[in-house]
Amino acid sequence: MSVITSFIQNQILSMKWLNVLIGNLLQAIGMDLSKRLGGSLQFFFYDVIKIFILLSVLIFIISYIQSYFPPERTKRILGRFHGLGANSLAALLGTITPFCSCSSIPLFIGFSSAGLPVGVTFSFLISSPLVDLGSLVLLTSIFGVKIALVYVVVGLVLAVIGGTLIEKLGMERYVEDFVKNIKPVEMQEEVKMTRGERVSYAQTQVKSTVSKVFWYVIVGVGIGALIHNWIPTNVILTVLGENNPFSVLIATFVGVPMYADIFGTIPIAEALFAKGVGVGTILSFMMGVTALSLPSMVMLRKAVKPRLLVVFASIVTVGIIIIGYAFNAFGYLFV
């Protein structure tokens, strides 16, 4: 069983064979992989090809599943539940929806205008960019299945707790009036898609999403190659190493000004992990980028009043920091 697991981890998800192949091709044209330039090129080409292969496959599968959950159907499902159950379901539904916070916000507005409780909509908003099936597979390719699964679980828990706290604090009144006054479109009978139409929809989503994230992945891999081959390990560890008690805080707040989805942060995480940075610090950085980016905060401000925005950002930030320190303290149990 361990042999099969190792094969899936190393050859299918991590695609070690691809890294060897690219290394051989670079050496064939005279590149020295022990040098910075050669090592950077190997890292860059390997990660770009690997990520886009996994990305295309994952988006196709996720989009095919998502075709069964159009927004109107999602609203109906969520409307049947209340309390903690509704928050939990909203967080779970967030795992099969768009890959970045900015693309989740229009759905958040739609759910709010449909009359769903503010806590439920925020559980969805936290979960959607933070946790998805794609992140599970890609994190597995770097950290292994145990850490990837724990990341997904704590991400869902953060989404449920965050949404519940926002509801308990009575934040409903801080949603902008225009959102509340949007008249929801009357739900028509759901159009059933054929299998061929679902496949076509999934293919379209692959093309659309890949085109949207293309440059984020390229930039992310470029930063990863820079960290991996050009920045000395001792410099990285001085700033983000376990001996620095502020490493999780630094990683979280460094991630906030950036804007990327989970796929754009993966190569940076991979490079930091190779340098010996703690898993919790890396995950805090990824969560800060995906859940608290400035562009998404600006967009969300259009839909909610400043007090609710501050409460949301504070809850998520504190949650990310706690998760980061917890992973650094107990991550060895999952390696």
The DSSP-derived string for 51-111 is HHHHHHHHHHHHHHHHTT--HHHHHHHHHT--HHHHHHHHHHHGGGS-SSHHHHHHHHHHH
pLDDT of residue 124: 85
**Does the CA dihedral 23-28-33-35 come out positive or negative?**
negative
pLDDT of residue 24: 93
pLDDT of residue 102: 54
Instruction: Give the total number of structural domains in the chain.
Output: 1
- Identify the domain containing residue 218 by its residue range: 2-187+194-334
The DSSP annotation for 147-169 comes to HHHHHHHHHHHHHHHHHHHHHHT
| Paired residues of 304 in beta bridges | 175
Coarse DSSP helix, strand, coil percentages of the chain, rounded to the nearest 5 percent? 80, 0, 20
Q: Which two tokens stand for residue 183?
A: 């008249």
pLDDT of residue 48: 86
Q: How far apart are CA 253 and CA 284, in angstroms?
A: 9
- 232 phi-psi bin (left φ>0, alpha ψ -120 to 50, beta other): beta
- With tokens 């950002």, the residue in question is 313
**Does the CA dihedral 6-11-17-19 come out positive or negative?**
negative
pLDDT of residue 325: 93
pLDDT of residue 84: 81
Per residue in 219-230, pLDDT (tens digit) is: 888 888 888 778
pTM of the model: 0.75
Counting as low any pLDDT under 70, the low residues of the chain are 1-3, 5, 9, 69-76, 78-79, 81, 97-107, 113-114, 132-134, 180-191, 257-263, 295, 334-335
Q: How far apart are CA 317 and CA 315, in angstroms?
A: 6
pLDDT of residue 105: 66
Identify the burial level of 210 via C-beta atoms within 10 angstroms of its C-beta, where 0-12 means exposed, 13-18 middle and 19 or more buried: middle
The DSSP annotation for 114-149 comes to TT--HHHHHHHHHHHHH--HHHHHHHHHHH-HHHHH
Q: How far apart are CA 195 and CA 189, in angstroms?
A: 19
